[in-house]
C-alpha cells in the first residue's frame, strides 16, 4: 500500500480534528438539551453505557494486559475521579448557563496546566508563558464579569469543573504512553460508576425517543474521541491542536440555533483573550520542545 504524501496526511489530520471538534460541540449541545429533562447521574449512566458498547471492539483488541500493565496504577485510578467530577460539573453548569459560556471556561484548561506545571510536573515556565498565563486569567475574569450578580453557583461550578479538567490533563501527561483505549475506557467506567450510584435517586422514565438521544450522546462522544485520536496520528500535534479552539465557534452557533443564546460582549472578549493566550502557550511549548497533551473537551 502506498503511503499518502505528507501534505495529504496533514490535511487529513486537520480535517479529522475539525470533524472531531464539531462532534464534541454537537455532543455538548445535545447534552444541554437532555439535561433539561434528566439528571446528571442518569445522563452519565446512559451515555457511559452506550460509550462502552462502542468501545468494546477496541477493548477486546487491546486485551486485559493493556489495563493491568498500564504505568503508574495510582494515577490511572485518580484520572477517572477527576474526569467524572469535571464532566459532572460541565453538564450541571450547562443546565443553567449558555453553552458558549461554559465552553469558554473549559478552554482555559491548558492555561491552568501551564500555571501548575512547575509544581506538579517539575517543568520550567519562562516569563513569556507566565505573561500568557496572566493574560489567560484576565480573560477568564472578563468572561466571568465578577459582580455581585454574576458570581452564581453555576458559574462557580463551571470554574471548578475547568480546574478539575486541567488536573486531568496533568495526570494524563504523567501516564504518557498509556493507550488511548485504556485512557478513554477508564474515564467512561468512572462516569458509569457515578451514574449507577446517583441516577436511581432522580430517575426519569425513558421514552424510546429520549432513550435514543441518550444513546446517541454516547455514540457522538466516541466518534469525537476517535476522530481526534486519528488526527494526531496523521499530522503533528503542533499543526492540529490549535484547531481545538474552533469549538467556541460551534458553541456560539449551536447555542444560538437551539437555545436562543446570544453571548455578551464580555464573554466574547474573554473568550478571545483565553484563545489567544492558549494558542501562544501551545506554540511556545512547541518551541521549547515540551511534551504536548491534547485537551479533549468533555
- From 74-83, 105-114, 153-162, 233-242, the region with the lowest mean pLDDT: 233-242
The yes-or-no verdict on residue 229 having pLDDT over 80 is no
Give the domain ranges of the chain. Answer: 9-287
pLDDT of 148: 45
The yes-or-no verdict on residue 265 having pLDDT over 80 is yes
Q: How many CB atoms lie under 10 A from the CB of residue 291?
A: 10
pLDDT (tens digit, 9 = 90+) per residue, 89-124?
Answer: 999 999 998 998 888 888 888 788 888 777 777 777
The full DSSP string for 181-237 is HHHHHHHHHHHHHHHHHHGGGG--PPPHHHHHHHHHHHHHHHHHHHHHHHHHHHS-H
Q: What angle do CA 267, 17, 216 make, to 5 degrees?
A: 80
Question: What average pLDDT score do residues 227-237 get?
Answer: 75
Contacts of 71 (CB under 8 A, 6+ apart): 175, 177, 178
The yes-or-no verdict on residue 25 having pLDDT over 50 is yes
- From 86-90, 122-126, 135-139, the region with the lowest mean pLDDT: 122-126
pLDDT of 93: 94
pTM: 0.82
Question: What average pLDDT score do residues 216-238 get?
Answer: 79
Amino acid at each position: 500500500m502506498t503511503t499518502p504524501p505528507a501534505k495529504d496526511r496533514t490535511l487529513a489530520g486537520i480535517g479529522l480534528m475539525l470533524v472531531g471538534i464539531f462532534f464534541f460541540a454537537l455532543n455538548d449541545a445535545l447534552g444541554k438539551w437532555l439535561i433539561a429533562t434528566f439528571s446528571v447521574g442518569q445522563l452519565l449512566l446512559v451515555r457511559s453505557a452506550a460509550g462502552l458498547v462502542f468501545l468494546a471492539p477496541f477493548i477486546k483488541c487491546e486485551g486485559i494486559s493493556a489495563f493491568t500493565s498500564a504505568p503508574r496504577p495510582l494515577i490511572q485510578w485518580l484520572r477517572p475521579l477527576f474526569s467524572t467530577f469535571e464532566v459532572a460539573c460541565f453538564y450541571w453548569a450547562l443546565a443553567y448557563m449558555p453553552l458558549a459560556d461554559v465552553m469558554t471556561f473549559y478552554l482555559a484548561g491548558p492555561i491552568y496546566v501551564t500555571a501548575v506545571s512547575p509544581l506538579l510536573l517539575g517543568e520550567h515556565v519562562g516569563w513569556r508563558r507566565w505573561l500568557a498565563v496572566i493574560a489567560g486569567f484576565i480573560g477568564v475574569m472578563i468572561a466571568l464579569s465578577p459582580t455581585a450578580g454574576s458570581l452564581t453557583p453555576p458559574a462557580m461550578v463551571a470554574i471548578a469543573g475547568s480546574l478539575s479538567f486541567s488536573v486531568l490533563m496533568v495526570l494524563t501527561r504523567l501516564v504518557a504512553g498509556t493507550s488511548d483505549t485504556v485512557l478513554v475506557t477508564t474515564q467512561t467506567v468512572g462516569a458509569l460508576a457515578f451514574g449507577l450510584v446517583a441516577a436511581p435517586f432522580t430517575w426519569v422514565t425513558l421514552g424510546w425517543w429520549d432513550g435514543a438521544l441518550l444513546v446517541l450522546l454516547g455514540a457522538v462522544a466516541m466518534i469525537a474521541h476517535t476522530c481526534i485520536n486519528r488526527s494526531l496520528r496523521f499530522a503533528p500535534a503542533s499543526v492540529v491542536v490549535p484547531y481545538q479552539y474552533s469549538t467556541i465557534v460551534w458553541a456560539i452557533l449551536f447555542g444560538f440555533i437551539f437555545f436562543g443564546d446570544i453571548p455578551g460582549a464580555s464573554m466574547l472578549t474573554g473568550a478571545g483573550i483565553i484563545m489567544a493566550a492558549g494558542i501562544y502557550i501551545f506554540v511556545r511549548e512547541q518551541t521549547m520542545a515540551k511534551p504536548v497533551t491534547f485537551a479533549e473537551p468533555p
